[in-house]
Structure 1
Amino acid sequence: MCSARSKPDTVDRELKLLRRLLRAKDRIDAAPHEEWPVARLAQVSGTSQAHFARSFRDAFGIPPHRYLLARRVERAAALLRDTDLPITDIAFQTGWTSLGTFGRTFRDITGESPGALRQRTQAAPGDLAQVPHCFVSAAHRPDLKMAVSEKRRRENGDTTPATETEVP
């Protein structure tokens, strides 16, 4: 009889944790331009930093930092596509403090520089006014299943897996 009681308790705890994780994810979505260190997100979700980071990755498939990067790049791509704002202004509006970091990260994630994406999307504009914004955003969402540094390493031809240094 104890095992029957523990199973619903576990499910209830997992649902409560998921709700708290979704609260933190919603905060990122509402303000991706803000600083979101794990400590702040853990506080929003009411968990420890380690538990939050582990639980977020398990629940959503990517670590919180990669999720934040994806939202920032997604927003930057939309601004590049839909406005004539200077790239520098877009970088700062989407949360980067360095134009160089913005350009390198944007290129690593999307495969093209911010300027190249702007030229390509403005050269052949489609009639996206008829398509709901959520569909356009989902279609242009960057794929961050692996760390940017790992992606960069693979593109440079390094095929050795990243491992921890071995202690003799």
Structure 2
Amino acid sequence: MTSVPPARHLLRARDLADARYFEKLSVADLAGAAGLSRAHFSEQFRRTFGESPHVYLLTRRLERAAALLRGTDRSVAEICLAVGLQSIGSFTTRFTRTYGMSPTAYRAAFPPAASQALIPGCVLRAYGRPRYRTIREDTRGPASIPSREG
């Protein structure tokens, strides 16, 4: 029977943080997913991934918040709560340190979400069709097109 490399257990914890970043996860929860004590887990996680579990989870939350700021019209407070953070003040401070601007300024740097609305394919096809029905009609100028009336 082969043993599982220790990093594999850490990947379980990291996957948990990635999948459930919006929940109230603690380092103890992540350590439990890895099957390690909290202190040993924190040390191993930092050694393997280059940052503490807390910082990793916070980074995931801020990345998701940035995506929501770019792609939705939800308020900063709603986004703060949606990514699993409780304090709007700490969220704004942390976001500003990470991205170099406040969440409001970050959103202003991107076009409104409504401008990114997808156009249904049927509408694109309808407006993308040639004006005339045949190739010959397309090559003639508008003056030489016979009228459909009488």
- Give the one of 47, 50, 66 matched to 1:58: 47
Aligned length in residues: 114
The corresponding residue for 2:21 is 32
- Give the one of 84, 108, 122 matched to 2:73: 84
Residue 16 of structure 1 deviates from its aligned partner by: 2.5
1:97 is matched by which residue type in structure 2?
Answer: Q
TM-score by length of structure 1 reads 0.63
Q: Deviations over 1:96-121 (max 9, x none)?
A: 11111111111111110000000002
Higher relative contact order (CA 8 A, sep 6+): 1
Higher Rg of the two aligned structures? 2
Q: CA RMSD in A?
A: 1.9
The corresponding residue for 2:11 is 22
Residue 60 of structure 1 deviates from its aligned partner by: 0.5
Q: Deviations over 1:66-93 (max 9, x none)?
A: 1011100000000000111111100000
Residue 36 of structure 1 deviates from its aligned partner by: 2.0
- Cα distance between partner residues in 2 of 1:64 and 1:76: 18
- Structure 1 unaligned segments of length 5 or more: list them: 1-11, 130-168
1:74 is matched by which residue type in structure 2?
Answer: E
- Structure 2 unaligned segments of length 5 or more: list them: 119-150
What stretches of structure 1 move > 2 A for 4+ residues in a row?
none
Q: Tell me the secondary structure at the aligned position of residue 63 of structure 2.
A: helix
- Cα distance between partner residues in 1 of 2:71 and 2:58: 20
